[in-house]
Amino acid sequence: MSSDTSGVAAEGTTLGQLEILKPGMLSQLQDFGRIGTLRYGVSRSGVMDPYAAAWANRLVRNRMGTPLIEVALGGLQLRAAQDTWLAIAGAAIPAYLDGRDVGSWSRFLMRAGQVLSLGFAASGQRAYIAVQGGFVIDSVLGAIATHQRNGVGGLHGDGRSLQRGDLLPCVADASAFVCGACAPWQQRTDYSVTPTLRVLLGGDAERFDEAERAKFFDACWQVSPDTDRMGVRLSHTAPLQRIPTRTLSLGITPGAIQIPPSGDPIVLMSDCQTMGGYPLLGWLHPLDRGRLAQVPARQTVRFIESSIETLQADMQRFADFFEVVP
């Protein structure tokens, strides 16, 4: 998946600003992350739900990797300095423009001085706000993605999340569209449904007992409150047992499913470390990792086994659809 994170505006582009009035629970500038930095010990980071983020960008005709705002749970409030087209997609978080409901998975014109206010998620965890033409912010190691633990990226390049008073430079082109638009309802994710997530077995999978692998797929796993952008911890009254040992750490990536001695799996997410020593059962499908990122604490998920052919075909369709700007 490509990323377009240039901090240089095209010649002749009119620049505007979005002012953060309230940052909400956790709001960050994200894109599709840092490609090729794992070998330096730097996490990829990037959006937690690439599908919803790609739709937000598509609605305003941006490339899918264009930086946008990731809003966790809600509570964000911002004001426009110039007329600007925005789009919102992802979690069912009510959004109001000067008190008027703008709807989810939609594109709308935000006039100078207007205030966009987000409520709190009814289903899902994260929503994405894209601006037509993108934010004009310098990248760090090839991306704008915010990584708090590493102190990298974001508005000031130091990994800070968005704060009250932050001014986000962005493209302002009121003539970009003649009307608003919405994603087709068939393309919108229903986050209220318990998801079944696809897993590609690998790593140390063959070293697990067959019965333990079957238990992993048969169980309904509960998302732990001890979950963040680094990893989703899962729990069950009957965790996995007879966990194989690993004497050497190995490189890992987002989506890796670690099985610690407790037997409760950990699914690594966007801000995960680059090395790990727990045995690996496999990897979560990249798009299903985004779906897992939208599951609230104490809700359940299930897993099914998938194949590399399915994963490759799905990701090719994803790229074909979102890399072509409509």
The domain spanning residue 300 has which CATH number? 2.40.100.10
Q: Per mean pLDDT, which range of 19-28, 58-67, 173-182, 245-254 is the poorest? A: 245-254
C-alpha–C-alpha distance, residues 203 and 40, integer Å: 22
Q: Are 238 and 215 in contact (CB under 8 A)?
A: yes
Q: What is the CATH number of the domain that holds 104?
A: 2.60.120
pLDDT number for residue 5? 47
What is the domain range of residue 204?
196-322
Which of 13-22, 179-188, 197-206 has the lowest average pLDDT? 13-22
- Choosing from 119, 153, 187, the residue where a domain stops is 187
DSSP assignment, residue 74?
B
Q: Are residues 158 and 251 in the same domain?
A: no
CB 73 within 8 A of CB 25: yes
Mean local confidence (pLDDT), 318-325: 85
pLDDT at 114 over 60: yes
Decide which of 6 and 79 is more confident: 79
> Do 151 and 264 share a domain, yes or no?
no
- What are the pLDDT digits (tens) for 278-321? 999 999 999 999 999 999 999 999 999 999 999 999 999 999 99
User: Are both 218 and 183 inside the same structural domain?
Assistant: no
pLDDT score of 41 more than 70: yes
For residue 3, being part of any structural domain is answered with: no
Per-residue pLDDT at 13 = 66
Q: Note whether 278 and 144 are same-domain residues.
A: no
Please check whether residue 6 lies inside any domain of the structure.
no
* Sign of the alpha-carbon torsion through 189, 235, 72, 121: positive
Kindly report the pTM of this predicted structure. 0.93
181 shares its domain with 214 = no
Query: Would the CA dihedral through 308, 217, 207, 235 be positive or negative?
Result: positive
Better-scored residue on pLDDT, 245 or 137:
137
The percentage of the chain sitting over the pLDDT mark of 70, rounded to a whole number, equals 95
Into how many domains does the chain fold?
Answer: 2
Q: Mean pLDDT in the chain?
A: 92
- Please determine, for residue 7, whether its predicted confidence score (pLDDT) is greater than 60: no
pLDDT for residue 246: 79
- Considering the domain architecture, whether residues 169 and 230 belong to the same structural domain is answered as no
Beta strand 68-72 pairing with 26-30: antiparallel
User: Domain ends where: 153, 187, 221?
Assistant: 187
Taking Cα atoms as reference points, which of 303, 270, 285, 314 lies closest to residue 200?
285
d(CA 227, CA 296): 9
Domain ends where: 131, 160, 187?
187
What integer is the mean pLDDT of 101-107?
94
Q: What is the pLDDT confidence band of residue 162, given thresholds at 50, 70 and 90?
A: very high
